[in-house]
Structure 1
Amino acid sequence: MDGDPEISIGMHIFVGSKASWETIPEGVPQYEEGPPETKRKST
């Protein structure tokens, strides 16, 4: 990939089943399972 894709992380979902070695940075909402209905984008 060349350059910055200009995409930011909006949330981390399913963190309740993440790998033990996976680290999640602070400052982004985390949800044990899926996000609440109010946070889901409709298509």
Structure 2
Amino acid sequence: MGGMHNMYFENIDPIQHILQTKEEDSPAKVWKHKISIAKIDNGLNEY
């Protein structure tokens, strides 16, 4: 592993609390993540 890693934020939805990324580097050409955050209880969040 190593080298340059690029991360692009394709979408940031502040209403639904969702981030969508497109990432790329030499070993893994392209991969995407869809990350959401939700309140659970007592100050806890689900990621």
Superposed pair shares fold, TM > 0.5: no
Q: So what's the TM-score if we normalise by structure 2?
A: 0.20
Greater relative CO, 1 or 2 (CA 8 Å, sep 6+): 1
Greater helix content: 1
Q: So what's the TM-score if we normalise by structure 1?
A: 0.20
Greater strand content: 2
Larger radius of gyration: 2
